[in-house]
Amino acid sequence: MINRIKHLPHYFSLVGILLSCIFGFLFFSYDKDFQVAILLSTAISYVTWGVVHHKLNDDFYPSVLFEYLAVAFLGVAVVLSLLLGF
């Protein structure tokens, strides 16, 4: 239980990153190019957050980086396909 509480500030920052993406998408719904920029910056922020989080907890391995990159890439691919109609 104490270990979960220790990570709470990290998860609040992740929620902040993802909520800013959602609000950016809603607020700039008229500009598809800016939405793509928001999407890419969110993906980069997500990967950076994951690396920093695991480095601080001394459990960072190359497989962790590849996992965060894969999830970010898949998220970008799905949202781009919905946004631009690929």
pLDDT in tens, 12-30: 999 999 999 999 999 999 9
73: which residues sit within 8 A by CB, 6+ positions away? 43
Q: How far is CA 1 from the centre of its chain?
A: 25
Q: How many domains does the chain have?
A: 1
The model's pTM is: 0.89
Q: What CA–CA distance (Å, rounded) separates 39 from 18?
A: 10
Given a cut of 80, whether residue 1 has pLDDT beyond it is no
pLDDT at residue 2, as a whole number: 58
Q: Are 14 and 7 in contact (CB under 8 A)?
A: no
Structural domain harbouring 66: 2-84
pLDDT at residue 6, as a whole number: 77
pLDDT at residue 41, as a whole number: 97
DSSP assigned state of 85: -
Mean pLDDT within 54-81 = 94
Q: Pick the residue with more confidence: 56 or 6? A: 56
Q: Are 79 and 39 in contact (CB under 8 A)?
A: yes
